[in-house]
Structure 1
């Protein structure tokens, strides 16, 4: 983008305000001249004077105080926005909604950047704004009517391919272009369904396209890289009480305000008026208990559970296991931290963390579980620094036996070995290829051999590397790069390799591969596991829109999986929705359950 100048106060807003050297100051321009027909202002870096408009919203809190104003006399070009934001870092702006203003300032593009990013490299889109501004209030006027965002107004196609900053806008063809062409304008949605619950920062996500990949419980489900669900829109109330909204709830009536953009969720409606929150009464699910001849295997990401957590977190997780999951026989846990949690003190043991969870489950009416796990090398498995995150097994000894076989530790790879015509593990529990570069700064899978009614069952608990560093769906580089995907594919191949070794020894081997794979059912990583029919996904039994365990930026998606070898036979599968759809969460993942008859 050439040389850039960072203005005072911009870095405090976790971003960079880019002002390129411009030509002579432009005078007598209107907002649509500043916005132009692309994402980057044609007047970038120029000083403009007396730009007229009516104040539509004021933001006095957060890292980017200022106000929005809009020209009530549009130019008729669907590509040019009639709204603009005025950044006032030094003090809350001295204006009110309805003020008629004439604003002077320098045209800038604000890029919200992450650690180590620069405006030239950040995948986030910019917002056009005026900085170093002063203004004159010349009267009051009606606020320009909010433009309705309807099911038909937003295109289904999400974005053109390429770097969006360099492309002209085509708002009739692409959703991201449509939103950009309304940047900072007063817009509205009516009777909008919530598809992303209220988060800790006071924002939620709605959809303007209620039929788009809709699930039974009110979700909008992410079904493929080419279906990012263009109707999703973040809502962030401005100076208003924030409802604790769950997926499926409704903001009845009109929600309106200026259209902004955030690197956390993309385009957002900065709501100056909020529709009435109408809960629809979606409740956490309770699955059925397994039959005596069914082996129930669950996976549950317990979100950085540490020995230092409040007892209330253990109690809520315990009730989820004992009641909502109906006390599975085997549980693969992800994100179990050591006994001292995020304190980076060299502690790697997690017996205290697991004991507290086991005690809480028993107190909630569940069985007295036992556990198996392997302590990682300090600081080697990624996750929250100091937490020494790992996967672990809980199992009900009254229902299933664990086959303990010595030799498993943090650095020794487990192998499939023959034993009297059957397969067994060289160590149980054991870790898969822990020294392989595929597991760098990532959790190593834990493999355990169980016995249920005399039948051996192998369970592989996984927590693949996260999507950190991937470009966002709403970013300026399209299609977004998924850099982390390569590592997950390599991890999947290593897991598949052990499963292939077990089934090569015993074609009827019963293997369950489960856990937080941090990727979708349609992803190359999951495809690497199912290649050749060695493993099949239990989720395939569900309609595509019901395959989800996580909600991110309004997209319900499947990150957690249960896969089985043909020897397992029929699988009764259930995603037990207790967290991801709700504002009040114990974890950000929903657990899953597979009932088998080995």
Structure 2
């Protein structure tokens, strides 16, 4: 996996001229003509010169990218026009290390191209470029055009216009209104030298040396410094990705809540991994916000503590077992039951037919003991090889850890990859026919996705049915900066079917025993306000307990600077109506650059 911005950009951009699938050409090539940068950029997202030859385009070089596949430089016209919709900057794609330097006055001739990072099927907007360039350096050492300040006052509060219904919802052909919409504002600065100052980090530095900041410090802020994603109508317009034109080793290791003090300035780019990105020629100084990993309290004698924790493709070759054990023992205070998601088989990503995960789970249990925790027992059902999605060869699945000193597991044989557990009545109470067992694994809803794992636990004489889930991912959805507005969320279709299947299973339990204690938990891969969650909740069969938290605390994951809830614990009415129900989203991973998982665990305490 690449570990630098250079390596990531190598995957990000290839020459538009080499990939027709990634190129928008709206007109036939014409004879070269002399134009200005703002003429090339035009007043919509698509250049009026796309596909045409241009000659002697003048500008000052504002940034040079000499690494990755997207080698080239940005140039800007120092004599702007009066139209705020037309950008004065443009990227010149050279394919090899450019010879131009910052401050050079240049003339460029070449082909205007609309390059779509990620390909046209991604739905991304396009980046206006000049390709196959002939570059002439006229002079050197010129002052770089003054950076445009991007701040709370300049970025509009509305995110994007609705797309043109006649163009399948695309905004490409709409006139830019930079005074009204945030995406139009950023587009009007594409390729230009921009500047932010004293900005708060809302997405920690990742392995690709990039982070996210906000220029709107009060926009949906939470107490830990993040920006909460609370609805599809709250797109958090102040978020901006930061990369650097400097050495990867010099990039700051920032956590959420830190500050890039002073100026961060450079060209405004657009890429497939976050849309509008300030590629910094000058980086602000990192100032710590003092963020600490959270610790939840220990459960009381009469409380059952149930947790969900996505351990991000854990396999025996990983070096994170001690850190995960520390998280479970110290920060989660050794819950009685832990649903683990993304447990890989014993050979990890090696595609060799292995499906057993006893070595993976055993190493974690031993590490927990070494960290001072209990010796957990565990239950799981191995998937059939290559049927449950995730990293190829990894055969990820959910497993239950449980503390046998506090909880017992009711074993009912017969569970395997293809056998469905059902619901029966035993002495007037609901019981599973197979425990542990999978919920309706033959349902098409679970095609190439993790099947739910159900198990019966007994705590102080009371049976609790727990259903561990890992719904299909949001991969393939159009990004928030898509050319299609509002963006399509095609992955929801399968999650809706999965939610319906789990809700149906819970209803079967409640039909047998109205007051049954049922906990449905895991990586739902969707938000607490989503249709997926509403289908899971049904007609009151379940309730997502994250909703008991203040809105600013409802998050377990940080994506593109948005703090959002993907991991949830839902409970049946008997638990919701009970005394002392307490929910905690334990923030120990998602906000930190040195995270051991990209998910924060969730803990529910209640008295069965």
Normalised-by-shorter TM-score class: over 0.9
Deviates more, 1:413-422 or 1:263-272: 413-422
Q: Can you list the C-alpha shifts for 1:426-481, whole angstroms capped at 9, x where unaligned?
A: 11111100000000000000011100011111111000011111111111111111
1:279 is matched with which residue? 288
Give 1:45 shift.
Answer: 1.6
Residues of 2 paired with 1:216 and 1:189: CA distance?
Answer: 22
Instruction: Determine the structure 2 residue equivalent to 1:4.
Output: none
Residues 531-550 of structure 1 mapped to structure 2, 5 A cutoff: 531-550=538-557
Alignment of 1:200-349 (within 5 A): 200-240=207-247, 241-309=250-318, 312-349=319-356
Counterpart for residue 93 of structure 1 = 98
On the 8 A contact 1:369/1:397 being kept in 2, the answer is: yes
Q: Could you tell me which residue of structure 1 aligns to residue 488 of structure 2?
A: 481
Does the alignment pair 1:450 with 2:486? no
Post-superposition Cα deviations, 1:156-214, rounded to whole Å, max 9, x if no partner, equal 21111220112111111111111111000011111000001111111000011111111
* C-alpha deviation, 1:484, in angstroms: 1.0
1:478 alignment partner, SS class: coil
Report the equivalent of 1:436: 443
The equivalent residue for 2:89 is 83
1:106 pairs with one of 95, 103, 111: 111
Q: Which residue of structure 2 lines up, in the alignment, with residue 385 of structure 1?
A: 392
Whole-Å separation in 1 of the counterparts to 2:485 and 2:146: 32
Q: Identify the residue that residue 129 of structure 1 maps to in structure 2.
A: 129
Contact 1:13 1:64 in 2 (8 A): no
What is the DSSP-based 3-state SS (H/G/I as helix, E as strand, rest coil) of the residue aligned with 1:497? helix
Matched residue of 2:132: which SS? strand
Deviation at 1:28, TM superposition (A): 2.7
Deviation, 1:20, is: 5.3
Confirm whether residue 40 of structure 1 aligns to residue 46 of structure 2. yes
Q: Give the conservation status (yes or no) of the 8 Å contact 2:15–2:69.
A: no
SS in 1 for 2:339: strand
CA displacement at 1:27 relative to structure 2:
2.5
After superposition, the Cα gap between the structure-2 partners of 1:171 and 1:376, relative to the gap in structure 1 and judged at 3 Å, is same
Which residue of 2 is the match for residue 160 of structure 1? Answer: 161
Q: Is the 8 A contact 1:307 1:350 kept in 2?
A: no
Structure 1 residues 365 and 465, CA gap change in structure 2 (3 angstroms) = same
1:575 paired with 2:585, answer: yes
In the alignment, structure 1 residue 170 sits paired with structure 2 residue 177: yes
Instruction: Structure 2: state its 5+ residue gaps.
Output: 1-12, 164-169
d(CA) in 2 for partners of 1:447, 1:181:
52
Q: 2:5 maps to what in 1?
A: none
Does the CA contact (< 8 Å) of 2:544 and 2:570 recur in 1? yes
SS at 2:172 equivalent: helix
Equivalent position of 1:180 in the other structure: 187
* TM-score under structure 2 length normalisation: 0.94
After superposition, the Cα gap between the structure-2 partners of 1:87 and 1:23, relative to the gap in structure 1 and judged at 3 Å, is closer
Q: Do the aligned residues in 2 keep the contact of 1:358 with 1:368 (CA within 8 Å)?
A: yes
CA offset at residue 13 of structure 1? Answer: 8.9
Residue 72 of structure 1: which of 44, 63, 78 is its match?
78
Instruction: Work out whether residues 381 and 441 of structure 1, in 8 Å CA contact, stay in contact via their aligned partners in 2.
Output: yes
**Structure 1 length normalisation: TM-score?**
0.95
Matched residues in 1 for 2:22 and 2:536: separation? 42
Contact 1:348 1:375 in 2 (8 A): yes
- Map Cα deviations across residues 58-104 of structure 1 (whole Å, 9 max, x no partner): 11112101111111111010110000111010x21111111111111
User: What are the Cα deviations for residues 130-157 of structure 1, in whole angstroms up to 9, with x where unaligned?
Assistant: 1111222222321111111111211121
Q: Determine the C-alpha separation between the residues in 1 that align with 2:30 and 2:450.
A: 57
Correspondence 1:487-502 to 2 at 5 A: 487-502=494-509
Distance in 2 (CA, whole Å) between partners of 1:45 and 1:427 is 63
Q: Which residue of 1 aligns with 2:142?
A: 141
Q: Which of 345, 348, 372 matches 2:379?
A: 372
Misfit runs of 4+, over 2 Å? 7-28
Instruction: Give the 3 Å change call, closer, same or farther, for CA 238–14 of structure 1 in structure 2.
Output: farther
Deviation at 1:46, TM superposition (A): 1.6
Structure 2: distance between partners of 1:179 and 1:449: 53
Equivalence for 1:594? 604
Deviation at 1:420, TM superposition (A): 1.3
SS at match of 2:131: strand
Q: Is the Cα–Cα contact under 8 Å of residues 437 and 453 in structure 2 kept in the other structure?
A: yes
Bigger mean CA offset, 563-572 vs 484-493 = 563-572
Distance 2:245 2:222 in 1: 30
Q: What SS class does the counterpart of residue 477 from structure 1 fall into?
A: coil
Q: Per-residue deviation at 1:16?
A: 3.0
CA contact (8 A) 1:22 1:43 kept: no
2:3 alignment partner in structure 1? none
Q: Tell me, what secondary structure is at the counterpart of 1:166?
A: coil
* SS, match of residue 176 in structure 1: helix
- Note the residue ranges of structure 1 that are not aligned, 5 or more in a row: 1-6
How many pairs were matched up? Answer: 584
**Aligned partners of 2:361, 2:405: CA distance in 1, in Å?**
19
Kindly provide the CA deviation profile for residues 239-282 of structure 1, in whole angstroms up to 9, marking residues without a partner as x: 14211000110000111111000110110001000010011110
